[in-house]
Amino acid sequence: MDLETEAQRRRTFAIISHPDAGKTTLTEKLLLYGGALHMAGAVKARKASRHAVSDWMEMEKEKGISITSSVLQFDYQGRRMNLLDTPGHADFSEDTYRTLAAVDSAVMLVDNAKGVEPRTLRLFEVCRMRKLPVMTYVNKMDRPGLEPLDLLDSVSKSLDIRTVPFNWPIGMGRDFVGVVNVVTRKVTVYDRGQPGGTEIAKETHLDLESDQLRAHLGDERTDELLEELELLSMAGDPWSLKDFLAGDVTPFFFGSAMTNFGVRPILDAIAEIAPGPKARPTVEGDREPTDDKFSGFIFKIQANMNPRHRDRIAFMRVVSGAFERGMAVDLARTGKSIKLAKPHSFMASERSIVEDAAPGDIVGLYDPGELRIGDTLSTGGKLEFQGIPRFAPEHFARVKLKDPTRRKHLQNGLQQLSQEGTIQVFVREALGPADPYLGAVGLLQFEVLKERLKNEYNVKAELVPSEFTCARWVAGAETGLAWLQNRSDFVLVKDRDDRWVVLAETPWKLDYAVSQAPGLKLLDVSPLTDEGLPS
């Protein structure tokens, strides 16, 4: 395997958006145009006759939303595309944050009637923190919405980033008929074809200045389009690939994922200008993808993707070197050697055996319970990538078990589901794992937890809301921890990594603790390492 050639063939990216912007629909259409699907399923409601390929969990099919991240791999124009579809709902944002640690770029989906929404802003900030290049796809142009120039201006001001349109819409709502490439000035006009866009839309390609375009659009619409493009050339920002890769400019694409209008241009752009794998920081320096020593890290764990086999899959991003089936690697956290005997690639829940993989690829590993999110796997000496943080939960509950004889199954389920990030589990030393506190970023996580305990572990449990509203990881001097331990009005627990966490009813109480306890620091994001933490 020529590592450099194979690495540069990879395009590993995620799609991010506010809920209901059409993210899962766009995902399906990219698969359709990439040749991975023969017919796309419409994601409309729980009664839809077909469900999106990337939504495989029963609750996803019932609610019509994405709950977990799906890994989808296909080839397009000589590139190996690794598409990570992420949950759009804010209650499952932690899964999205972890996924963004494993990609090299992102496509930001914007609803043309709503522009930049709060969830979009939060996700973009995570991309900026990770220095990910971002493309912008303005969706739902087949419906009335904001003027394209207003959208460009809104995104630029809201996200503090330059915007450069790669194509421009012809019409809006029922009048949306195609797009024009701003650089080549080639026009693509679409045939609406199958309702719901289940098949690739028929395209007619015309020159902007041609008589055929005037005959197709009419003189009035053609003149309007030419005026808009002239205005755009005077007011728009200049395109720079270097600035895009640095995260300082976002290229704009307009379309309708539902009708397939404008889907091919964004897929072409991902293949052409999105970056391949880059160096990733370790605790001792950067690891380049062309390094001949293998390395990778775990960014997601999913139990029971196949409920019949009760399996547990750890998703690994290959960072450097060549991956081979059956190879032995070292687990940095424990120093133990592990043989990777049954690696898989995925098309949502469909899987196939992987014989080899290159930097940028995502590989699913069968895991008997040894791996955790953030783990580093490598050959050729000890290596450890910077960890993947967890965010402080905002909702808390205790478990009330309907059948006490299922206590062991409950503990097993909570342990597995916490390790894959479905829920956060906190334990008081005096009570042990039999009576934990559960933490979630969003309330829907609790609903998912109950359903998965019932369907995958045969445990019927009720969740009783807790009085706590916030949690913080304890850091700083040992004297700060000792101060908390000597107070009866603060509840100290430990997370799954045996790190101290303080729970509180109000943020004010945490502020009080920091002001009174000598050397105490409280963190709302879990530390990447144990260095500097009180024991």
Q: Residue 497 burial by CB count (10 A; 0-12/13-18/19+): exposed, middle or buried?
A: middle
Count other C-beta atoms under 10 Å from residue 416's C-beta.
Answer: 19
The SS3 assignment for 147 reads coil
- The token pair that represents 151 in the structure block: 């959208």
Location of structure tokens 């700060």: 480
pLDDT at site 378: 97
Q: Can you give the pLDDT at residue 502?
A: 97
pLDDT along the chain (535 residues), means of 10: 90 89 88 78 39 48 48 91 73 72 95 88 83 96 94 93 95 94 93 74 91 92 92 82 95 95 96 96 91 94 64 90 96 93 72 90 89 92 85 91 90 86 88 86 85 89 93 94 93 92 95 95 82 77
Q: Is 274 helix (H, G, I), strand (E, B) or coil?
A: coil
Q: Sign of dihedral through CA atoms 61, 65, 68, 73?
A: positive
329, two tokens = 């690697």
pTM over 0.85: no
Question: Counting runs of H as helices and runs of E as strands, what totals does the chain give?
Answer: 14, 31
Return phi, psi of residue 244, to 5°.
-65, -45
Which sign does the torsion angle of CA 363, 367, 373, 376 carry?
negative
Dump the DSSP string for 176-226: --EEEETTT-EEEEEE--STT--SPPEEEEEETT-HHHHHHH-HHHHHHHH
Q: State how far Cα 213 lies from the chain centre.
A: 40
Task: Give me the pLDDT at residue 195, please.
Answer: 61
| Angle at alpha carbon of residue 76, lines to 74 and 78, rounded to 5° | 115
Residue type, 255: G
Alpha carbons 230 and 227: distance in angstroms, whole number: 5
pLDDT at 525: 81
Interatomic CA distance for residues 111 and 36, integer angstroms: 26
Q: Report d(CA 342, CA 354) in Å as an integer.
A: 8
Kindly state the tokens that stand for 230: 């002239």
Q: What is the pLDDT of residue 67?
A: 38
Helices (H), 76-195: 93-100, 118-129, 148-159
Place of tokens 């419906």: 143
Question: Which neighbouring-strand residues pair with 285?
Answer: 282
Q: Answer yes or no: are the C-beta atoms of 516 and 484 closer than 8 Å.
A: no
Q: What is the pLDDT of residue 36?
A: 79
Encode burial over 114-147: b for 16+ CB neighbours within 10 A, e otherwise: bbbbebbeebbebbeeeebbbbbbbbbbbeebbe
Report the pLDDT value the prediction gives residue 62, as an integer from 0 to 100.
54
Q: Which two tokens stand for residue 134?
A: 């971002």
At a CB cut-off of 8 Å and minimum separation 6, what does 233 contact? none
- Taken in order of first residue, the domains within the chain and their CATH numbers are 10-65+104-273 (3.40.50.300), 280-378 (3.40.50.300), 395-523 (3.30.70.3280)
For residue 84 the two structure tokens come to 């990570």
pLDDT at 54: 47
What pLDDT score was predicted for residue 139?
96
Q: Which helix (H) or strand (E) holds 232?
A: helix 219-235
